[in-house]
């Protein structure tokens, strides 16, 4: 009824919630759907991990037997050690490489756009492609070692891919090649957002470029560093396709990673219960990274609100 008379331009506004209805629909429906997916399947996996399921999910209770079987298996132990080594070295090295590239690119050089695209480009390549290409490059009989031999340095040796102790580093190399461009992009944005006035003030005070970087620019990159570390860490923990294409867990089982073990248990060995237990263990490792990050974010926000 009111509508009929409210042709006037200053018609009364619709109630707040009606006006915002499209926004709510846009946000809450997908959010609820994805949360339901994520949460319900996570709970389902947790349930399966306590059952004696093998080929198909069955009900029943075996307590922690699946967990102890996974934790006692050589595959998981190797995978866990590899994850610690791969995770820490990959995160650290991609951080350093990304930062170095960002600082070099930040020198107002010519062709910056081209270089930036080149360094970012690996990110656009699928991990399977990265893994396959590097498996050729690193193969002693086909790739870098053969090239150097053919050039005349016949004593040159670079056979990490087939060396059990060094093979995990080939994954680190490929992963850094793939994702240090990403770290670079984030750092570059951080470098560009440092207040130019502060830098000018420091220059007037006679600070050299090294000192400016050390005392002003790098400390202001701290929040970005944390973000990069967390994103790279969760990538490291869930690494699957890269290893599968590059070494497939080999030589032998030397480069197993948790995600490979989960897939292997569930779909190669048809041990759904044990695979689910391994998946839950992976989730716990992820939480060990993400919870401190969430706490840190919370504290930061609290501090900002108080300031």
- Segment contacting other proteins by CB under 8 A, of 195-203, 230-238, 250-258, 299-307: 250-258
Is 71 among the residues that bind other proteins (CB under 8 A)? no
Q: Using CB atoms within 10 A of its CB, is residue 159 exposed (0-12), middle (13-18) or buried (19+)?
A: middle
Among 5, 7, 56, 304, binds other proteins (CB under 8 A): 56
Does residue 28 interact with other proteins by CB under 8 A?
Answer: no
Q: Is 53 in the site for other proteins (CB under 8 A)?
A: no
Q: Which of 31, 35, 37, 141 binds other proteins (CB under 8 A)?
A: 141
Q: Angle formed by the axes of helices 74-105 and 167-192, to 10°? A: 40
**Residues within window 270-289 making contact with other proteins, judged by CB under 8 A:** 270-271
**42 or 68: whose CB is closer to other proteins?**
68
Minimum distance from residue 134 beta carbon to other proteins (Å) = 11
List, in sequence order, the alpha helices (H) in 152-237: 167-192, 196-204, 209-212, 218-220, 222-237
User: Is 264 a residue that touches other proteins (CB under 8 A)?
Assistant: yes
Region class of 248: left (phi > 0), else alpha (psi between -120 and 50), else beta: left
248 binds other proteins (CB under 8 A): yes
**60 in contact with other proteins (CB under 8 A):** no
Give me the residue label for tokens 């037997």.
65
Stretch that binds other proteins, among 10-18, 35-43, 49-57, 114-122 (CB under 8 A): 49-57
Give whole-number Cα distances, 123 to 129, 153, 244, in Å. Answer: 11, 33, 18
The smaller minimum CB distance to other proteins, of residues 162 and 231, is found at 162
Minimum CB distance to other proteins smaller for 69 or for 290: 69
Q: Which of 275, 240, 259, 258 has the alpha carbon at shortest distance from 56?
A: 275
> Is 52 a binder of other proteins (CB under 8 A)?
no
**Chosen residue from 65, 93, 140, 231 binding other proteins by CB under 8 A:** 140
Cα→Cα distances 14→6, 8, 61, 68, 265, Å:
12, 14, 55, 60, 57
Among 120, 220, 250, 290, binds other proteins (CB under 8 A): 250
Q: What is the DSSP letter of 213?
A: I
Cα separation, 286 vs 192, in Å, equals 31
Nearer to other proteins, 5 or 72 (CB): 72
Smallest gap from Cβ 132 to other proteins, in A, equals 11
Given a contact cutoff of 8 angstroms between Cβ atoms, the answer to whether 170 and 183 are in contact is no
d(CA 94, CA 184): 9
Q: Is 161 in the site for other proteins (CB under 8 A)?
A: yes
Rounded CA gap, 63 and 171, in Å? 36
Shortest spacing between CB 45 and other proteins, in angstroms: 16
What is the C-alpha separation between 159 and 104, in angstroms, rounded? 31
Could you list the residues that contact other proteins (CB under 8 A)?
A: 54-56, 69, 72-75, 135, 139-142, 159, 161-162, 164, 247-248, 250-254, 264, 267-271
């Amino acid at each position: 009824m009111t509508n009929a008379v409210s042709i006037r331009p200053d018609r009364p506004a619709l109630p707040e919630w009606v006006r915002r209805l499209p926004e709510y629909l846009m946000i809450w429906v997908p959010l609820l759907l994805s949360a339901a997916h994520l949460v319900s399947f996570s709970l389902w996996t947790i349930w399966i991990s306590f059952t004696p399921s093998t080929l198909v999910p069955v009900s029943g209770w075996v307590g922690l037997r699946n967990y102890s079987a996974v934790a006692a298996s050589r595959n998981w132990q190797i995978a866990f050690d590899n994850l610690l080594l791969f995770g820490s070295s990959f995160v650290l090295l991609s951080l350093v490489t990304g930062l170095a590239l960002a600082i070099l690119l930040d020198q107002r050089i010519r062709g910056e756009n081209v270089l930036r695209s080149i360094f970012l480009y690996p990110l656009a390549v699928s991990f399977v492609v990265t893994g396959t290409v590097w498996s050729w490059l690193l193969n002693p009989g086909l790739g870098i070692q053969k090239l150097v031999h053919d050039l005349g340095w016949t004593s040159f040796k670079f056979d990490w891919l087939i060396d059990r102790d060094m093979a995990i580093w080939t994954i680190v190399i490929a992963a850094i090649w793939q994702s240090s461009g990403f770290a670079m992009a984030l750092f570059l944005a951080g470098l560009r957002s440092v207040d130019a006035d502060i830098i000018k003030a420091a220059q007037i005070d006679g600070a050299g470029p090294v000192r400016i970087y050390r005392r002003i620019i790098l400390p202001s990159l701290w929040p970005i560093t944390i973000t990069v570390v967390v994103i790279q860490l969760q990538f490291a923990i869930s690494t699957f396709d890269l290893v599968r294409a590059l070494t497939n867990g080999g030589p032998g089982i030397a480069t197993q990673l948790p995600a490979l073990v989960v897939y292997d248990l569930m779909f190669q060995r048809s041990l759904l219960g044990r695979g689910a237990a391994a998946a839950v263990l992976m989730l716990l490792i992820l939480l060990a990274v993400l919870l401190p990050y969430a706490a840190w974010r919370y504290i930061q926000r609290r501090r900002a609100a108080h300031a």
